[in-house]
Structure formats: C-alpha cells, structure tokens
A and B are shown apart, each in its own frame.
Chain A
C-alpha cells in the first residue's frame, strides 16, 4: 500500500497514505459547528446551491438515492421527502463524527423510515453495481485522495440512466469576483473559523483545498473519463461553486 506517491492537503504536499487521516481530523474537529459555519461563511447561500442541486437531480418518488459525503444531512432531508415511503436515501460519509451529527439531527426532526446510514469511502463504495437512480456529492469530492477512482466507483453503483451530481467549489469566472473571493477566503474564513469553531487551521485548509481543486472543464473531463456521458456543468455565484452532472450510459 504505502509508496512514495504524494498528493495535496490544501497547499501542503503529503503522502497519499496521510491525506485521509488529515482530512478526517479536520471534519472530526468541525462536525458540531459545521452547519452554522456554512451559513456564516456563505451568507446562507449554500442552502440555495443545495436547493438547485436537488431540483436538477430529477429525483422522483420511489427512487434509490445515495447522498455521498452527505455529512450533516442537508440533501438527505429533502430527498427523503421526495422519494417517499417506497424510496430510499442512503446517507454515506467516511467520517463518523459527521455521520453521527447528521443522524441525530435527522432523527430528532422526525426523518426516519426511508433513510439509512453507512460509513464508507467514496473510492471503494460498498454497494452492488447498478444500485442508485441518483448520486449526489456536495462539497465532498475536494477532500477525496483519488478523485478518479471515486468517480469510477460512483459510476459503477449508478443504475444505467442514473445521474451523478457533483456540487463543489470551483473557479470564479469573473476577475473582480476572483480577487474579492481570495481576500475573503484567506483572511475572513480562518478568522471566523477561529471565532466560532475555535479552529482556524481547518478553515485555512478549506480555503487552500478549494484553490487546489480541479476547475470546471477539468472535472467535466474526469467525469467523462470515468465513463459518464452527457456531462455538463452550471456555474453558480460566478463560478464560486459549480454543479456538474453526468449520466451513466
């Protein structure tokens, strides 16, 4: 397993074997404050990005849905309503702290019956081939060590005709926006992280990992490489985030 291959952890270069552990530490640290931080950092706009993801998923009653890296359950909650008693939503996350926060919250809010929880790694998903009508991964792919392997794994467990939606930070399309965004994310984000979650390092990682993530066209190419067809993307908030979609042929 262990070799000399390296990868990115934000701007640091770390060995491939180290990355998952370092990402895990970030999310164990921020799990309890994850939702309030998302609202603060994005001025609440992350709710709109997620709403659009749900709308574009084409999810229907009776569907089987995988909410990958689903964390604290924002997408799962809405999918649970859409698929109804005949459908199923599997909330999967590699991180036990995030999964526990998500499960406790959804259960407290009365979302039970058609939601299941699984701790899993996106690179080697523990599901039968052709299991899901829709897979969503919102703000998760960035943290995966081997993104190509993860995309192939997602393609494998999609049903033919099934849809993959990746919501992720991307490259701002407008130079003014890009400058403002840089200033905001490298000074304001770690400060807010320190204030609210008492953890500026994790939010420094967030800002850096966003810059290292493949841009819109690169990710689209990676999805095609993984065997998906009709791949496309929509920029939101001037490309601060992008929603990529692909279909399993």
Chain B
C-alpha cells in the first residue's frame, strides 16, 4: 500500500481515519466496525464488501490504534 494513498483514504461511511492492518491486508474503521479488504493491492472501499468486526474486535483494534499513535 502506497503511503500517500493511505494518508488520503478515509472510511466512506463516517469519513474517519483508517488503520492499516498489514497482516490481514485490511483497512479498519474502528468507529463503524468495518474492515475494508485490500485485494491484490487495491483497497475495496465499499461498505457492502467490508467485513463486520465483532464488538470485542472493535475495542481491541481501537486500543491498538491508540497505542500506535
């Protein structure tokens, strides 16, 4: 994922910042609890294609975001 592109991308629903999960190849919106897949390097920024995170995962990932900042 290109750094410049990553800095431009936001959640299409809430326009909030996204966290890049390199291992899972997903862009995470911890506010909406949506994980947008990156397929062959192309971020798929469609709500209908996003994985819904569980409440626990949302909290866990939100914490991880905070500690990373």
Contact = CB atoms under 8 A, between A and B. Distances in A.
A117 B41 contact: yes
A40 interface: no
Contacts of A90: 5, 8
Nearest to A91: B42
Interface size class of A (residues with CB under 8 A): 10 to 19
B8 A121 contact: no
A123 to B, nearest CB: 9
A129 B17 CA distance: 12
A94 B46 contact: yes
Interface residues of B, number: 21
A88 B4 CA distance: 9
Contacts of A119: 39, 42-46, 49
B9 A126 contact: yes
* Majority secondary structure of chain B interface residues (helix, strand, loop or mixed): mixed
A120 B46 contact: yes
Nearest to A103: B42
Contacts of B11: 126
Contacts of B42: 96, 99, 103, 117-119
A127 B8 contact: yes
B49 to A, nearest CB: 8
Contact of A124 (B8, B12, B36, B49): B12
CB-based closest 7 A-B pairs: A126-B45, A126-B12, A124-B12, A119-B44, A116-B5, A120-B45, A117-B42
21 contacts: A88-B5, A90-B5, A96-B39, A96-B42, A118-B5, A118-B43, A118-B45, A119-B39, A119-B44, A121-B45, A121-B46, A125-B12, A126-B12, A126-B36, A126-B43, A127-B8, A127-B9, A127-B10, A128-B8, A128-B10, A129-B15
Given A120-B45, A121-B12, A121-B45, 10 more contacts: A90-B5, A118-B9, A119-B39, A119-B42, A119-B45, A119-B49, A124-B12, A126-B36, A127-B9, A128-B10
